[in-house]
């Protein structure tokens, strides 16, 4: 049995009505209780940032991130163990937005 740890699931998305509910359903379906949740506008214009704190296994955390990213309105999602805060997130999102902008031309 894999041990449960506290994970931060960090999600960057478009600002879309109903998205929070379908993301939180991804946790519910796997019987993962959300310990805390914050939603706020990110430093990128038009992009919202959700952070979930959940106790779960590494495998679940990885899977949940993939399923969240599968949502059409989600840009990227990340998971990391609590206290290993992800300093690189800002860079990844910034690169992602630049790359998509270039693809659009």
Partner 1 sequence: MAELFSGAEILLKSLVDEGVDTVFGYPGGSIINVYDELYKYGGKLNHILVRHEQGAIHAAQGYARATGKPGVVIVTSGPGATNVITGVADAMVDSTPVIVITGQVSNAALGTDAFQETDVVGMTGPIDKWTYQIRRPEDVAPAVAKAFHIASTGRPGPVVLDFTKDAQRGRAEYHFEKCDFIRSYVPVPEPDEAQIDEAVRMINAAERPFVVYGQGIVLSHAEEQLKAFLKKGGIPAASTMLGLSALPSDFPYYVGMAGMHGNIASNLMTQRCDLLIAIGMRFSDRVTGIVSEYAPQARKIHIDIDETEIGKIVPVDLGVLGDAAQVLERITERMNFSFHDEWAVTARKYDQVEQAKVVAPEVQRTDGPLTMGEVISKVAEASGHDAIVITDVGQNQLMAARYSRFRSSRSFISSGGLGTMGFGLPAAIGAKTACPDRQVCLFVGDGGFQMTIQELGTILQEHTAVKVILLNNNWLGNVRQWQELFFDRHYSQTRMLNPDYSLIARAYGIRYRMVDERAGLDAAVQEMLDSDEAFILDAHVEEQGMVYPMIPVGRRVDEIMLNRNEWYEDGK
Interface contacts to partner 1, rule CB under 8 A:
13-14, 17-19, 21-22, 25-26, 29, 63, 66-67, 69-70, 72-75, 97, 100, 103-104
Measured in degrees and rounded to the nearest 5, phi and psi for residue 72 equal -55, -40
Straight-line distance from the first to the last Cα atom of the chain, in angstroms, rounded to the nearest whole number: 48
Q: Which is nearer to partner 1, 7 or 27 (CB)?
A: 27
Nearer to partner 1, 45 or 83 (CB): 45
List of E strands, 1-105: 5-14, 34-41, 47-56, 74-81
Question: Minimum distance between the CB of residue 83 and partner 1, rounded to whole angstroms?
Answer: 26
């Amino acid at each position: 049995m894999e041990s449960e740890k506290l994970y931060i699931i960090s999600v960057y998305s478009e600002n879309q009505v109903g998205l929070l509910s379908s993301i939180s359903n991804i946790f519910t379906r796997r019987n993962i209780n959300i310990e805390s949740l914050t939603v706020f506008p990110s430093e990128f214009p038009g992009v919202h940032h959700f952070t979930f704190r959940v106790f779960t296994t590494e495998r679940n955390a990885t899977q949940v991130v993939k399923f969240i990213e599968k949502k059409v309105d989600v840009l990227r999602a990340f998971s990391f163990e609590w206290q290993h805060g992800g300093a690189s997130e800002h860079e990844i999102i910034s690169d992602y937005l630049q790359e998509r902008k270039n693809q659009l031309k």
